[in-house]
Amino acid sequence: MCFTRQNLSRALIAETAIVCYKLLRKSPNSISSPYKRRYKWNNKKLRKGKLDEGDNYSINNGFHSFIAIKNAVYYTRGMYNKYDLWIYKMVIPKGSKYFKNRTQYVSNQIRLASKTPIQSILKKK
């Protein structure tokens, strides 16, 4: 997932905790990133990482998430394999460094708010 910057935006500092949403893969024993499968998530651990400010147009390194559930659903249009993708509620903690565009955040810290997913990408008939 690549974050597109708006108008050469600069990093912000979260004044309060920010609720956001992330696409993750759910299996019987774990919750993992669809892009970096070795990256496992649990709701007790704050994940910290490097927020690479990238070039003037995009940011690749950092924790990517969506502002709203509808943004996550829209992002998956055209994805071939989305059978095990679920939307999870996440939190960017107060004091985190982050960027924001119309649909996404990318931050240097994030945590899983709950191991219970909000919804599956595929609607059951």
Collect all residues with Cβ–Cβ distance below 8 Å to 62 and sequence separation of at least 6.
3, 49, 50, 51, 52, 98, 99, 106, 107, 108
The confidence score (pLDDT) of residue 76 equals 78
Distance CA 3, CA 12 (A): 15
Write out pLDDT tens, residues 53-86. Answer: 766 677 778 899 999 998 888 877 766 566 678 8
Distance CA 2, CA 116 (A): 26
> What's the pTM?
0.85
Distance CA 116, CA 97 (A): 26
β-pairing, 109-112 vs 85-92, is antiparallel
* Domains of the chain, CATH where assigned: 3-120 (3.20.170)
The confidence score (pLDDT) of residue 90 equals 94
The confidence score (pLDDT) of residue 125 equals 37
Give every residue of the chain whose pLDDT is below 50, as ranges: 124-125
The confidence score (pLDDT) of residue 7 equals 59
For the record, the structure tokens of 53 come out as 């400010």
